[in-house]
Amino acid sequence: MPYSTFGNKFTQHSGINELMDDLNKGVKGGDDILMLGGGNPATIPSIHQRLTNLMQELLDQGKLMDTLGNYDGPQGKDAFINALVELFNELYDWNLSTDNIMLTNGSQNAFFYLFNLLAGDFSQGKKRKILFPLAPEYIGYADASVSEDTFVAVRPKITELPNQQFKYHVDFDALNITDDIGAICVSRPTNPTGNVLTDTEIEKLDKLAKQHNIPLIIDNAYGTPFPNIIYEEVKPHFNLNTILCLSLSKFGLPGARCGIVIANPEVIKAMSNLSGIMALSPGGIGPEIALPLVESKEIIELSDQVIRPFYKHKSEVAIKLLTEKIHSENFRIHKSEGALFLWLWFKDLPITSHELYQRLKDKGLIVVSGHYFFPGLDQDWPHTNECIRLNYAQDSEVVERGITILADLVNELYA
C-alpha cells in the first residue's frame, strides 16, 4: 500500500523504535535478557508502595473512576495544573498562572508538538530548524519532525577529568545561530550522557535565544524539583522565553504518559490547540495519581529523599564496576551528574558502537549504540561511533552481570 510522505517518514526504521522494541523485549524477556538499554526508570520499592497505596485510596474515593469516565480539556486536568502552579510559585520566583502550564501524553509528545510548531516549513518557502547546542542529545528528538532536515547540532568541547572521566561543554565559539533557527533545545540533565549544563551555559544560551528572538527549550525530564535525579547543585531556570518540559515518567510513572510544559501563555495556547486536534485531551490518570503528592508537596520529599539518593548510589556502584573491570587506557566515562545513564567512550575501538551493540545483544546484553544520539550533527566525527549508553537503574545483579559481559568483550577487542 502506498503511504504518504508523512507515512513513509514515520514508518521507516528509527533509533527510538529500535530502543523501545528492545526495551519491551527486555521487560518481557525475564532473566535471559539483561536490559541496560532503554530509559525505563527503576522500580523503587518505597515509591512503588506509596503509589500503590495512593491508587487504592483514589479508587476507594471514586476519583480514579471519575477520571477514567471523563475527558479533560485540551490543556489537561485543571486541578493538577492549579496544584502545579501553586507548587512552582512556592518553590521559585516564577510567578506562574494556569495560563503557563499544559499537560501532554508524556513529554515525548510535547517535543513532537514543539518541534513541529517552531521548526519545519514556513510561508514563502522558508525553513526553520531546531538547534541542539550540545551534541550528543536525546535519541527521541531525532525523528520527531514531519519535515526533513529539521535538526542541527554542534559538537561539544571535551574536558578530560581525573579517574578516566570526561565532561562535555557547549562550544560557544562554534555556535552559530543563523536566521533559520526556530528554537534552541537542551536536555538538562542530558540523556544520554548524564551531563548537566552549568548555570553559566544556561545563562549564555538564554541570552543568545533572547537576542535572536527564539525560545530556549529545556527538557527537564530528570531534573528538579521532581524526579530530581540530578547530582549537581544548579539553578532551575525559567523565564517567559523558556519552554520548560517536565515528566512524571522518571518519578516512576512512565506508563501514565504524563508530560508537563511550562511556557508563556501564547505557547501554551498554541500547544493546547494542537493537543485538542491530535489527542482531544491528554490522559488524566497520571495527573489524578500525582495530584495529592503535588498538593501536599510530598513529591518533593520523595524526589529528594528517595529517588535522588537511589540513583546516585546506583551510578557510583556502576562506575566502580566499570573502572575495575575494563582495563583499557582508552576507556572513558562521562561525569555522572544526573539521569539514569552512563555514557561510555571507547576511544579507537576496532569496531563501531553499533557493531558493539549487536555483539552484546547476541550475548544477552542490551545497551544503546551511541551513534543514535547525534541528531542534526552533519559532520564526520569518529567519536559518534565510539560511545554507548548504559542504563544503571536496573537491579544490582543485572547491572553487574551486564557490566561483566561488556567488560569481557571490550577487553578482548582492545587486546
**Measured from the CB of residue 384, what is the shortest distance to ligand PLP in angstroms?**
18
Return d(Cα 119, Cα 178) in angstroms, integer.
13
Using CB under 6 A as the binding rule, the residues of this chain from 233 to 292 that contact ligand PLP are 247, 249, 254, 259
231 forms beta bridges with none
Binding residues for ligand PLP, total number by CB under 6 A: 14
- Rank residues 182 and 338 by Cβ distance to ligand PLP and give the closer one: 338
CB of 203 to ligand PLP, least distance (A): 21
CB 257, min distance to ligand PLP, A: 7
Q: Which is nearer to ligand PLP, 51 or 410 (CB)?
A: 51
Tell which one of 67, 108, 272, 336 touches ligand PLP (CB under 6 A): 108
Question: Of 138 and 343, which CB lies nearer to ligand PLP in the complex structure?
Answer: 138
Contact with ligand PLP (CB under 6 A) among 22, 201, 219, 337: 219
Q: How far apart are CA 169 and CA 225, in angstroms?
A: 23
Question: Is residue 355 within 8 Å of 324, Cβ to Cβ?
Answer: no
Least distance CB 218 / ligand PLP (angstroms): 10
| Look-up of cell digits 516564577 | 94
Tell me the C-alpha distance between 114 and 363, whole Å: 39
Q: Answer yes or no whether residue 39 interacts with ligand PLP by CB under 6 A.
A: yes
* Sign for the pseudo-dihedral over CA of 317, 228, 38, 33: positive
CA distance linking residue 243 with residue 188, whole number of Å? 13
Residue choice 75, 150, 187, 224 for contact with ligand PLP (CB under 6 A): 187
Nearest approach in angstroms of CB 105 to ligand PLP is 8
Nearer to ligand PLP, 74 or 283 (CB): 283
- Give rounded-to-5 percent helix, strand, coil for the chain: 45, 15, 35
The distance of closest approach from Cβ of residue 114 to ligand PLP in the complex, given in angstroms and rounded to an integer, is 11
Residue type, 63: K
Angle at the Cα of 103 (from 123 to 312), degrees rounded to 5?
115
Q: Taking CB under 6 A as the rule, does residue 40 contact ligand PLP?
A: no
> In the complex, which residue's CB is closest to ligand PLP?
106
Q: For the CB of residue 107, give the shortest distance to ligand PLP in the complex, in Å.
A: 3
| Inter-residue contact 242 to 219 (CB < 8 Å) | no
Least Å distance, CB 255 to ligand PLP, is: 9
Torsion angle of C-alpha atoms 64, 52, 288, 19, degrees rounded to 10:
-110
- Report d(CA 78, CA 154) in Å as an integer: 39
Cβ of 49: how many Cβ atoms within 10 Å? 10
Query: By CB under 6 A, which span of 100-108, 317-325, 386-394, 395-403 interacts with ligand PLP?
Result: 100-108
Residue 38 phi/psi, 5-degree rounding, is: -60, -175
Let me know how long the chain is. Answer: 415
- Please say which residue, 221 or 409, places its beta carbon nearer to ligand PLP: 221
**210: enclosing H helix or E strand:** helix 199-211
The verdict on 303 binding ligand PLP (CB under 6 A) reads no
150 or 191: CB nearest ligand PLP? 191
> Can you tell me which of 100, 191, 336, 394 binds ligand PLP, judged by CB under 6 A?
191
The answer to whether 385 touches 345, Cβ cutoff 8 Å, is no
Q: Binding ligand PLP by CB under 6 A: which of 26, 37, 74, 106? A: 106
Interaction between residue 140 and ligand PLP (CB under 6 A):
yes
Report, in Å, the least distance between residue 145 CB and ligand PLP.
15
Question: What is the separation of C-alpha 171 from the centre of its chain, rounded to a whole number of angstroms?
Answer: 21
How many other β-carbons are positioned within 10 Å of the β-carbon of residue 67?
A: 21
**Which residues of this protein are in contact with ligand PLP, per CB under 6 A?**
39, 106-108, 138, 140, 187, 191, 219, 221, 247, 249, 254, 259
